[in-house]
Structures are given as C-alpha cells and as structure tokens.
Amino acid sequence: MVFEFFRGGVDQTLEEIEATIVEMLLTNRHTFDLAINTVVGGTDPASVDNEVHKSDRKVNKAERRIRKELVVHTSVRGNQADLPRVLVAMSVIKDAERIGDYAKNIWDLGAAGVDLSRADDLDHLLAMRDRTSGVLADSARIYQDRDSERVHELVRKMDAWTSEYDECLVKLLESELTPRDAVSRALLCRYLKRITAHSMNVISSLVLPVHRLDYYDEKKDDRG
C-alpha cells in the first residue's frame, strides 16, 4: 500500500494525508462540474469564476502541504527503504493537482466564449461530461477504500475512453467544421483525455509498483 511506511506510531499522519488526497479528488470533481457546464451546460463562466479558481487554489495548497509533510517524514524518520514509497506519494498528489489544472482549462474555454450548449452533438458532449464527472467521484471512492479490485475494472473502461478521445481528434482533423468549432472540440477532447489519464494514474498507484508510476500518461504504443 502506498502509505504503509507511515504506520507504526504515526497513523494519524497517514490518515490525514489519505483524507487530504481524497479531498483533492472530490474538489477536482467540483471544479470540473462547474467548468464543463460553462461549455456544454449554458452556465455563464463569470458566475463560477471565483469558485473555480478558489477550488483550484485549494488543491494546489493541499499538494504543497502534503509535500512538506513527506519531506519532514523523510528527514526525521526516513531511510532508503522509505524512498520508493515517498516517490509514489509525490506522484499521486501531482496527478491530483494536474486534474484540477485541466478542469480549470475547460473553464478557460468557456471564458473565451466557447458555448456548445446548442450544438448538434450535445448529447454526446453531455455523455462525456457525465462519465468524466463519474470517474472523478469513483476515483475518490476507490482511493479512499483502497479497492484494488475496482481499480482494474475502472481502468479498463477509462483506457478505452482515452482511445475514444484520440479518435475524436483524428475525426476533427477530417471534419468540415469551422476552425472555431473544430478547435473548441479538439481542446475539450484533449482536456477530458488528460483528466481521465491522470485519474487512472491515481487509482493505479494502488496496484502498480513504483517503477511503473504514470503508466497511463503514455500512449498505449509507448507503454513498456
């Protein structure tokens, strides 16, 4: 288990760090829900501006706080045996922070005037919105429960979805949409793919060894 090295007299530190990571994931879901609805749900970007950026800052502060606690642990109690587990923890919080960044990037699309709430393919866009929001909720739940069996089930689905996003980009290159419509959809597909991939990295940290961290950050053909 990622944080097993904290056990033995410092269980409270373990519990606080695990709870903070779960909170980061849930905050990311909140940010994503606000942001995506400025693009596909008709929400005025200005009406959620403060909340989106407040949530993003909350995740960033949590990342810095956990890093500090890990450094203190390594300095005070650490030995070489701890190092791989510290690296895993650092990787997990970085993935969580990146999810928040991509959610904020989606809000940037809405703030730039992208409004797909009346698009012909709205049903498909809403389906992508809903499953990504669900992924963020499921990832938090799986991480909190340390549910390794559920990891494998969800990762298979998410991996297939990342392939769909790649196909979306290829189709857009061949489409007759206006540049504005094509670029808007391409960026949205890109951001959704990155959110999905970073979520896979978070939950797969429960089952993958340290040398395979960020495995799902790579294209399938490049995974070794």
pLDDT in tens, 213-222: 555 555 566 5
Q: Residue 8 has what pLDDT?
A: 45
Q: How far apart are CA 13 and CA 215, in angstroms?
A: 27
**What predicted TM-score, i.e. pTM, was given to this entire model?**
0.87
Is the model's pLDDT at 5 over the cut of 90?
no
Residue 221 CB: number of other CB atoms within 10 A? 6
pLDDT in tens, 146-177: 898 899 999 999 999 999 999 999 999 999 99
Q: Which amino acid, 62?
A: A
pLDDT in tens, 70-89: 887 777 765 555 566 677 77
- What domains appear along the chain, each with residue ranges and CATH number? 4-222 (1.20.58.220)
Q: State both tokens at 192.
A: 């959704």
Within a 13 Å sphere around the CA of 71, how many CA atoms are in the beta-carbon half? 6
